[in-house]
């Protein structure tokens, strides 16, 4: 055996604690007080990183450990400075952030429109701050604002759309008329309604613009429907809203205009969609029973891609693609990985990928398939909300408008191929007891299947993902085959709860997406078997048969039927109750909810639903332990049952720390009073909660919806509304209730 030969590498501080050679070239060496050293095997250079290097450096000079994860991110553990991770040196975007103190910077406000004109200048419309024109060679903005003292200034600082026609004329849709930019005089000509001139523009608030054949301009207004401007004659033909006459638009507020591949004009409204064809407006309306119709009545954006396909961005209904041959729509929603169901902007890059701006991020559809991927602009950016402004420039860059920030993305550098995230089960809790504390089982990450006795059928699974870039944005969706009909809606909640599972064989499947929306659809397949109760076993039924034969056919048949019915009733009662709190469980809720909604609809009686969530409950469990957490769940359940005590009321455990209360024949005022009483009663319990960031005592948040259900209304939609109101209560600081309204996002 050949002897080893060593080469000694000296550092400025030789108190080494570890050496990490995971990287093919760079060797990382942590020291006791001397910081972190990086040695390049190829060049022989040494780089030293110390806490004193300032922002972006390591948090402590005593570096204990390091790891390079599957995404190439370096993690280090320090003494007293916690854990730190590296960031990519090369950013995948440029952010122009508003600075009201500097006139050469972007002005604050949501960016509603972006346009690259024929001269290569970038026009940016900022709601409340006018227009800013960016010279990309210098990065300096020139501002146009409304000035009463100057003739020819921008008519209003609220800019909705900036548009350039085929002759290079810039048009601006504002809240005080339509403006035409004159490059020679660097001024604007404004078109406003004139009651004395029937050929003048019909409305002062203009939302959207689209050039029509014959050098004309379609104009979408706020209250008057559509206008068609003859640009050379400067006259306007009016198309006022009239939902009963198909010669006119169906709604007054026009958000979006686009031509399809056949030359038909599509009109997206605040309330509906039209296709203008041969002088008639063909109507499209949202119908929840029509899965191939439009997914929402509010159409925020229309876009035709390079293949002639028409796309719709909706509020609440996600992204839709129009199939012209079938006159149908195909939908992509949050369930398919889209960041948010409110889509405000759509654009295609030079490679044919479709980029979409939503209320909580950007995503794109790979042209190779119909898979949706997210693209997060994370960490150092102040905002992930995107507005209607979007533009692709001639050099292939894509600009998105946010809140007081303009993003410039290079699509080719942004579409990095990353490994799908992997998932492990970090804990399994059976009847409130963690398997980490049960030595009869292997540790949870190494358990590949689970067999449960009939009386230990309340089980929770806690998941963990290997992608730690932005763990709070990882999404999970699960389905227990044999129990669940559908996949759960993707969310950041990494726990799956199942109570009172009936005897049988199941398969738990989990899908997971990382912070950039890359999904692993087969992250976990976990077999579960639950034993049946003894009274439903083969030997039990054999005994019942023996009794029947011994006593006599007629008498035994009657008695056995009674016994079996009683056994089934007991079984049903057990499977309808939550094993921990004693109130109804999710299964019981799913069985009764359609009946209660149908009765309320038939009687035209109000129905109120309260969705409740214990604030910071995970922190409570982590600090006080699961036994104390179980006591809190019981206390909350008992209190809810006390307040909702009518025979028609229903209190159920929805999952984990979430509860739901159904209040038939209760209007909004009564439900609101109930919510106030529950909030106060929870606070009056004075249960200590030192790890809550709301109050040092236990509190809850409540989402409320109250309405008279329509005939055939989907019960799940009512729960979803209550859940949205609950989300708003959490967003507003928790320890409160919020009532669902139609404009609640």
The enclosing domain of 631 has a CATH number of 3.30.70.270
Domain assignment present for residue 684? The answer is yes
Sheet arrangement for strand 272-277: 254-259, 265-269, 272-277, 280-284
CATH of the domain at 506: 2.60.40.10
Residue 53 DSSP symbol: G
Question: Beta-strand (E) ranges in 183-335?
Answer: 187-191, 206-212, 216-221, 226-230, 235-239, 254-259, 265-269, 272-277, 280-284, 299-304, 310-314, 319-323, 328-332
Give the mean pLDDT of 490-514: 90
23-60 per-position pLDDT tens digit: 888 999 999 999 999 999 888 898 898 988 876 788 89
Are 694 and 682 spatial neighbours (Cβ–Cβ below 8 Å)?
no
pLDDT tens-place string over residues 678-723: 999 999 999 999 999 999 999 999 999 999 999 989 999 999 999 9
The rounded percent of the chain whose pLDDT value lies above 90 is 61
Q: Are residues 564 and 648 in the same domain?
A: no
Would you list the DSSP string of 467-483?
--SSGGG-EEEEEEETT
Q: Are residues 594 and 714 in the same domain?
A: yes
- Is residue 159 within 8 A of residue 127, CB to CB? The reply is yes
Average pLDDT over residues 517-534: 86
585 shares its domain with 443? no
The answer on 705 and 590 residing in a single domain is yes
Q: Residues 652, 658: contact at Cβ < 8 Å?
A: no
pLDDT (average), residues 241-255: 96
DSSP letter string over 653-676? EEETTEEEEEEET--HHHHHHHHH
Residues 544 and 555 both lie in one domain: yes
* Domain shared by 724 and 611, yes or no: yes
Task: Evaluate whether residue 201 is within a structural domain.
Answer: no
Last residue of a domain, one of 30, 58, 85: 85
Q: Which residue has the tokens 């876009």?
A: 303
Residue 395 within a domain: no
Read off the pLDDT of each residue in 110-133 and give the average, rounded to a whole number. 95
Residue 20's beta-bridge partner residues?
28
Residue at 405 is within a domain:
no
* In a domain? residue 609: yes
Residue 452 shares a structural domain with residue 561: no
What pLDDT score does 562 carry? 63
**In terms of pLDDT, which residue wins out, 512 or 55?**
512
pLDDT(557) > 60: no
For residues 504 and 631, state if they share a domain.
no
- Give residue 83's pLDDT: 87
Domain assignment present for 271: no
Using CA atoms, how far apart are residues 492 and 477, in angstroms rounded to an integer?
A: 9
Strand blocks (E) in 170-205 = 170-174, 177-182, 187-191
Whether the pLDDT of residue 615 is over 80: the answer is: yes
CA atoms of 172 and 160, how far apart (whole Å):
8
Residue 293 has pLDDT above 80, yes or no: yes
**Residue finishing a domain among 85, 102, 118:** 85
- The total number of residues shown for the chain amounts to 745
- Give the number of other Cβ atoms within 10 Å of residue 388's Cβ: 25
Domain of 62, in residue numbers? 16-85
Last residue of a domain, one of 29, 56, 85: 85
Residues 463 and 493 grouped into a single domain = yes
β-bridge pairing 433-434 and 450-452: unpaired
Split into its structural domains, the chain has a count of 4
Cβ atoms of 294 and 286 within 8 Å: the answer is yes
Do the domain assignments include residue 298? no
Check residue 418 and give its pLDDT.
Answer: 62
Q: In this structure, are 482 and 570 located in the same domain?
A: no
353, with CB counted inside 10 A (0-12, 13-18, 19+), is buried
The answer to the question of residue 745 being in a domain is: no
Taken in order 662, 665, 671, 677, the sign of the CA dihedral is: negative
Q: Answer yes or no: do 504 and 438 share one domain.
A: yes
Greater confidence (671 vs 516) lies with 671
pLDDT reported for residue 10: 87
| Same-domain check for residues 604 and 654 | yes
């Amino acid at each position: 055996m050949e002897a080893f030969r060593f080469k000694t590498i000296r550092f400025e501080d030789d108190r080494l604690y570890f050496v990490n050679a995971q990287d093919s070239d760079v060797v990382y060496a942590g020291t006791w007080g001397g910081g972190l050293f990086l040695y390049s095997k190829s060049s022989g250079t040494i780089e030293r990183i110390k806490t004193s290097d300032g922002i972006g450096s390591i948090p402590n000079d005593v570096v204990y450990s390091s790891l390079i994860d599957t995404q190439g991110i370096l993690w280090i553990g320090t003494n007293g400075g916690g854990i730190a991770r590296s960031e990519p040196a090369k950013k995948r975007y440029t952010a122009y952030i508003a600075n009201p103190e500097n006139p050469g910077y972007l002005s604050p406000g949501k960016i509603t429109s972006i346009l690259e004109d024929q001269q290569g200048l970038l026009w940016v419309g900022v709601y409340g701050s006018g227009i800013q024109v960016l010279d990309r060679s210098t990065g300096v903005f020139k501002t146009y604002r409304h000035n009463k003292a100057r003739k020819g200034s921008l008519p209003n600082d609220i800019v909705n759309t900036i548009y350039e026609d085929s002759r290079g004329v810039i048009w601006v849709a504002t809240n005080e008329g339509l403006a035409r930019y004159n490059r020679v005089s660097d001024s604007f000509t404004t078109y406003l309604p004139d009651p004395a001139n029937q050929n003048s523009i019909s409305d002062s608030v203009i939302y959207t613009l689209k050039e029509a054949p014959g050098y004309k301009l379609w104009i979408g207004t706020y209250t008057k429907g559509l206008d068609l401007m003859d640009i050379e004659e400067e006259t306007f033909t009016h198309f006022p809203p009239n939902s009963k006459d198909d010669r006119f638009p169906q709604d007054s507020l026009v958000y979006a205009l686009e031509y399809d591949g056949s030359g038909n004009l599509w009109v997206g409204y605040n309330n509906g969609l039209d296709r203008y064809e041969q002088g008639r407006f063909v109507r499209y309306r949202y119908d929840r029973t029509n899965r191939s119709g439009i997914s929402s009545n509010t159409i925020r954006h229309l876009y035709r891609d390079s293949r002639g396909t028409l796309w719709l961005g909706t509020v609440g209904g996600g992204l839709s693609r129009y199939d012209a041959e079938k006159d149908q729509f195909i939908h992509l929603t949050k369930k398919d990985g889209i960041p948010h169901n409110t889509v405000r902007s759509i654009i295609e890059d030079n490679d044919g990928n479709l980029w979409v701006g939503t209320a909580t991020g950007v995503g794109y559809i790979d042209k190779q398939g119909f898979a949706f991927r997210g693209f997060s602009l994370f960490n150092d950016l102040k905002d992930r909300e995107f507005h209607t402004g979007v533009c692709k420039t001639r050099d292939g860059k894509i600009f998105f408008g946010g809140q007081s920030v303009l993003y410039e993305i290079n699509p080719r550098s942004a579409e990095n191929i990353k490994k799908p995230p992997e998932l492990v089960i970090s804990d399994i809790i059976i009847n409130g007891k963690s398997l980490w504390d049960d030595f009869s089982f292997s540790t949870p990450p190494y358990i590949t299947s689970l067999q449960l006795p009939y009386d230990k059928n309340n089980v929770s699974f806690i998941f963990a993902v290997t992608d730690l870039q932005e763990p709070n944005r990882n999404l999970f969706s699960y389905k227990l085959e044999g129990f669940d009909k559908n996949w759960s809606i993707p969310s950041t909640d990494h726990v799956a709860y199942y109570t009172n599972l009936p005897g049988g064989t199941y398969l738990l499947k989990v899908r997971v997406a990382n912070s950039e929306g890359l999904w692993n659809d087969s992250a976990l397949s976990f077999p579960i078997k639950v034993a049946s109760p003894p009274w439903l076993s083969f030997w039990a039924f054999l005994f019942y048969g023996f009794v029947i034969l011994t006593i006599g056919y007629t008498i035994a048949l009657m008695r056995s039927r009674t016994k079996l019915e009683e056994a089934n009733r007991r079984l049903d009662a057990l499977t309808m109750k939550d094993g921990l709190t004693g109130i109804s469980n999710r299964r019981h809720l799913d069985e009764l909810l359609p009946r209660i909604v149908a009765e309320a609809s038939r009687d035209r009686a109000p129905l109120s639903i309260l969705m409740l969530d214990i604030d910071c409950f995970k922190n409570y469990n982590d600090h006080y332990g699961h036994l104390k957490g179980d006591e809190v769940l019981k206390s909350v359940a008992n209190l809810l049952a006390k307040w909702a005590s009518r025979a028609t009321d229903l209190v159920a455990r929805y999952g984990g720390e979430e509860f739901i209360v159904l209040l038939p024949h209760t209007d909004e005022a009564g439900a609101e009073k109930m919510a106030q009483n529950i909030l106060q009663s929870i606070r009056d319990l004075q249960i200590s909660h030192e790890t809550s960031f709301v109050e040092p005592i236990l509190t809850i948040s409540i989402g409320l919806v109250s309405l008279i259900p329509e005939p055939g209304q989907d019960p799940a939609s009512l729960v979803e509304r209550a859940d949205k109101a609950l989300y708003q209560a959490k967003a507003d600081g928790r320890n409160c209730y919020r009532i669902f309204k139609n404009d609640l996002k």
